């Protein structure tokens, strides 16, 4: 019988933890909470849901803390969540069926990052590896830790050699993440810790493009776009597999740093890799913005329209109202007001577009 342990590491999550655990507790066979030094009511809340609450002395190593939590789990399969992540939907019977059919798998949850910037709500979706058999996997990396195969797992009877044990399966688990919420000062408190750990990791492996990427993302979160740009450029100098999700995200993030630092001409260089990412609505939308900022208006409109024709986008609205809104802005700037109103109307309830419509209608 498949049993799953939820393993979490937490610190000062009293504002989130009760809601987090309330949403997941009934689906888990066991809950393990490792506290890394809370000074609020986090542990008291955790003990409402499980007796397996442990103290852990923080040592600047997320993987060590994760692996400690796994060592306290009594079940074969581990699901990992953070305190600021809330289950939106889960089909636990289907999850266990997938495990039975793929016993060596790494399960991927669908995470929706939700945050507000300058009064506008953004939602960004990604798939993350979060469920695995503890007999074969542990975490590696002091920050932005990754699930990796244990050396002792190799060569075991029944191991799926054709996949090297790295089969991933998308799970029917949707999670809302609110950790990116907060003003710039709040975000900088989080990213400053991350940057310190990433710099330490980079000293240990200066030729790791993934660490360089994460440093770029951390400075991007701080809105220090010049430093972000520098780290992205270092990482992109390596021969990278463009099929990797972090590489795709890095290319897009790099494009936005170029826009934010007004390096519009340099950003046009991303057209050289257009074919690699032409099926990504997020990339096509970025290209449209770059063209628009370079005064290539007609080409920009064409790319925004292409973005709306692609079926999926990681950022909500990219293949819908955000593209239509930008086309409306272009037409409004060209004083083609009827066309502008047409595209603003296609934005539905997007508040900024509604305001522009009201303005145009007088």
CATH number at residue 243: 1.25.40.10
* Predicted confidence (pLDDT) at residue 162 exceeds the cutoff of 70: no
What is the structure's pLDDT at 300? 98
Summarised one tens digit per residue, pLDDT across range 191-205 is 888 999 999 999 999
- Whole-angstrom distance, CA of residue 321 vs CA of residue 353: 9
Note the pLDDT of residue 153. Answer: 62
What's the Cα-to-Cα distance from 298 to each of 104, 285, 320, 339, rounded to whole Å? Answer: 50, 14, 19, 14
The answer on pLDDT for 165 being more than 60 is: no
The Cα–Cα gap between 351 and 121 comes to: 10
**Lowest-confidence segment of 8-12, 15-19, 179-183, 274-278 by average pLDDT:** 179-183
Q: How confident is the model at residue 161 (pLDDT cuts 50, 70, 90)?
A: low
If you compute the radius of gyration of the chain from its CA atoms, what whole number of angstroms results? 23
* Planar angle of CA 195, 196, 197, nearest 5 degrees: 90
Whether residue 120 sits in one domain with residue 25 = yes
Indicate the residue among 219, 248, 277 that finishes a domain: 248
Helices (H), the chain: 17-24, 42-46, 62-71, 92-101, 184-204, 209-221, 225-236, 245-260, 264-267, 274-277, 281-293, 297-309, 321-333, 337-345, 351-361
Give the rounded percent of residues in the chain with a pLDDT score beyond 90.
Answer: 87
Q: Six-digit token pair at 18?
A: 């009760």
Residue 188: pLDDT band (50, 70, 90) is: confident
CA angle at 13 for the pair 10 and 19, rounded to the nearest 5°: 105
Per-residue pLDDT tens for 274-306?
A: 999 999 999 999 999 999 999 999 999 999 999
Q: Are residues 105 and 139 in the same domain?
A: yes
Asked whether residue 173 falls in the same domain as residue 187, the answer is: no
What pLDDT is recorded for position 173? 98
Tally the domains of the chain: 3
Q: pTM here?
A: 0.91
What does residue 262 show for φ and ψ, rounded to 5 degrees?
60, 30
């Amino acid at each position: 019988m498949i049993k799953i342990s939820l393993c979490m590491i937490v610190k000062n999550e009293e504002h989130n933890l009760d809601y987090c655990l309330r949403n997941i507790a009934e689906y888990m066979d066991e809950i393990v909470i490792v506290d890394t030094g809370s000074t609020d009511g986090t542990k008291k809340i955790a003990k409402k849901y499980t007796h397996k609450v442990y103290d852990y002395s923080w040592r600047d190593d997320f993987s060590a803390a994760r692996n400690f939590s796994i060592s306290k789990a009594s079940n074969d399969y581990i699901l990992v969540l953070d305190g600021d992540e809330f289950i939106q939907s889960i089909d636990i019977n289907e999850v266990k069926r997938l495990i039975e059919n793929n016993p060596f798998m790494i399960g991927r949850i669908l995470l929706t990052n939700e945050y507000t910037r300058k009064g506008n709500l953004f939602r960004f979706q990604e798939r993350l590896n979060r469920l695995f058999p503890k007999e074969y996997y542990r975490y590696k990396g002091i920050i932005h830790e990754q699930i990796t195969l244990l050396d002792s797992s190799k060569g075991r009877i029944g191991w799926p050699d054709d996949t090297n044990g790295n089969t991933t399966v998308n799970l029917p688990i949707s999670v809302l993440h609110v950790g990116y919420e907060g003003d710039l000062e709040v975000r900088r408190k989080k990213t400053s810790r991350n940057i310190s750990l990433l710099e330490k990791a980079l000293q240990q492996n200066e030729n790791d493009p993934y660490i360089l990427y994460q440093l770029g993302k951390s400075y991007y979160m701080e809105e220090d776009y010049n430093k972000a740009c520098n780290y992205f450029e270092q990482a992109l100098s390596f021969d990278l597999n463009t099929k990797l999700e972090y590489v795709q995200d890095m290319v897009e993030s790099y494009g936005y740093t170029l826009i934010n630092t007004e390096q519009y001409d340099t950003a046009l260089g991303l057209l050289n890799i257009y074919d690699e990412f032409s099926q990504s609505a997020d990339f096509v939308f970025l290209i449209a913005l770059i063209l628009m900022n370079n005064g290539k208006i007609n080409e920009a409109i064409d790319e925004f329209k292409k973005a709306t024709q692609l079926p999926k986008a990681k950022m909500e609205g990219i293949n819908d109202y955000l593209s239509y809104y930008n086309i409306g802005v272009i037409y409004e700037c060209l004083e083609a007001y009827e066309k502008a109103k047409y595209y603003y109307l296609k934005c539905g309830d997007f508040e900024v577009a509604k305001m522009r419509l009201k303005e145009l209608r007088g």
